[in-house]
Amino acid sequence: MPLIILTGLPTSGKSTRAKQLHDYLTARIAGTKYRLHLVSDDSLSISRSVYDLSTVPVHARSANASEKNARAAIYGAVKRVLSDKDIVILDGLNYIKGWRYQLHCEAKAVRTPSCILQIGCSKERAQQVNEDRLKRDQAAVEQEGSEAPSDTTEAYAPANWENLVFRHEEPNPMTRWDSPLFTVIWEDDEEQVKRTFDSLWEAIAGEGRKIIKPNQ
Ligand code: ADP
């Protein structure tokens, strides 16, 4: 069963949609042999700071070990559970096209489809969410005189956030690894989101499901 790769700007609402998709699929697979998994930076305790290349000079970027290690951890977690009976929702930035290609190949290797769920959100809106989180953490520090609360979602340092937006590689549905591509936007209401999830389900598990051949 498929690997569903979320992609979108930082703080654009990816985890919110991933949870909604998880609820939707939980209901859809009830009573079937399928299993469902949600893999994310949070489920693997990966800090937002691993993506912080804002202080690393361009020529040294490939040597950035922390993001590489994070990707290895995510890859391992996906690989461990992905099979023809397991649906995996990968909630994360997934902003590098080469990385999405790698995940697509991994799915193909276990003869299961992959698809992309793009979370559309304006840069301004996403930035506002991050700024609100930074203010929340700052207020907590001032009040408690301690660290930001650990039970809430971590904010990105502003330069890290900007840099991630700059590096973001939009999915291209003309490529094999970014298709099929489904999109939900911030403004989509429950009904619209359900329609998108219905077509996603149809593409990956319904009658129209593409049979994966090893040499395809
Ligand atoms: P990300 O996973 O991309 O960092 P989150 O899903 O954690 O983003 O969402 C960031 C914040 O925005 C959360 O407080 C969430 O409740 C809110 N949010 C996300 N999507 C929506 C939406 N479509 N409408 C309203 N609020 C949203």
pLDDT digits (tens, 9 = 90+) for 24-58: 999 999 988 899 999 999 999 998 889 988 666 65
**Residue 187 alpha carbon, nearest atom of ligand 1:** 23
Amino acid identity of 71?
R
Q: How far apart are CA 29 and CA 85, in angstroms?
A: 11
Instruction: Return the pLDDT at 208.
Output: 54
Amino acid identity of 55?
T
Residue with the two structure tokens 């219905």? 198
Indicate the number of domains in the chain. Answer: 1
Q: How far apart are CA 84 and CA 167, in angstroms?
A: 33
**pTM of structure:** 0.90
Paired tokens of 16: 């919110």
72 in any annotated domain: yes
Q: For residue 88, report the distance from its CA to the centre of ligand 1, in Å.
A: 21
Q: How far apart are CA 6 and CA 78, in angstroms?
A: 13
Mean residue pLDDT of the chain comes to: 89
At residue 216, does pLDDT exceed 50?
A: no
Q: For residue 126, report the distance from its CA to the centre of ligand 1, in Å.
A: 8
Give, to the nearest 10 degrees, the angle between helix 190-205 and helix 14-29: 60
Instruction: Return the pLDDT at 145.
Output: 65
10 in any annotated domain: yes
Q: Which residues line ligand 1 (CB under 6 A)?
A: 8, 11-16, 129, 153, 186
| Best CA proximity match to 172, nearest among 78, 96, 67, 91 | 96
211 in any annotated domain: no
Q: For residue 186, report the distance from its CA to the centre of ligand 1, in Å.
A: 8
Q: Where are the beta strands (DSSP E) in 55-213?
A: 86-91, 114-120, 181-185
Q: For residue 107, report the distance from its CA to the centre of ligand 1, in Å.
A: 28
ipTM over 0.85: yes
How many helices and strands (H and E) does the chain possess?
6, 5
Q: How far apart are CA 140 and CA 66, in angstroms?
A: 27
Rounded to the nearest 10 degrees, how much is the dihedral formed by the CA atoms of 130, 132, 133, 138? Answer: 130
**Residue 10 alpha carbon, nearest atom of ligand 1:** 3
123 in any annotated domain: yes
Q: For residue 18, report the distance from its CA to the centre of ligand 1, in Å.
A: 10
**Which DSSP letter does residue 144 get?**
H
210 in any annotated domain: no
212 in any annotated domain: no
189 in any annotated domain: yes
Residues 6 or more apart in contact with residue 176 via CB below 8 angstroms: 104
The domain spanning residue 100 has which CATH number? 3.40.50.300
State mean pLDDT over 3-28: 97
Structural domain containing residue 153: 3-205
Mutating to test ligand 1, I would choose from 5, 9, 16, 168 the residue with most ligand atoms within 8 A of its C-beta, which is 16
214 in any annotated domain: no
Residue 138 — very low, low, confident or very high, per pLDDT cuts 50/70/90? Answer: confident
Cα 27 to Cα 53, 96, 125, 188: the distances in Å are 40, 31, 31, 21
**pLDDT digit string, tens, across residues 54-103:** 666 656 655 556 899 999 999 999 999 999 899 999 999 999 999 999 99
State mean pLDDT over 123-148: 87
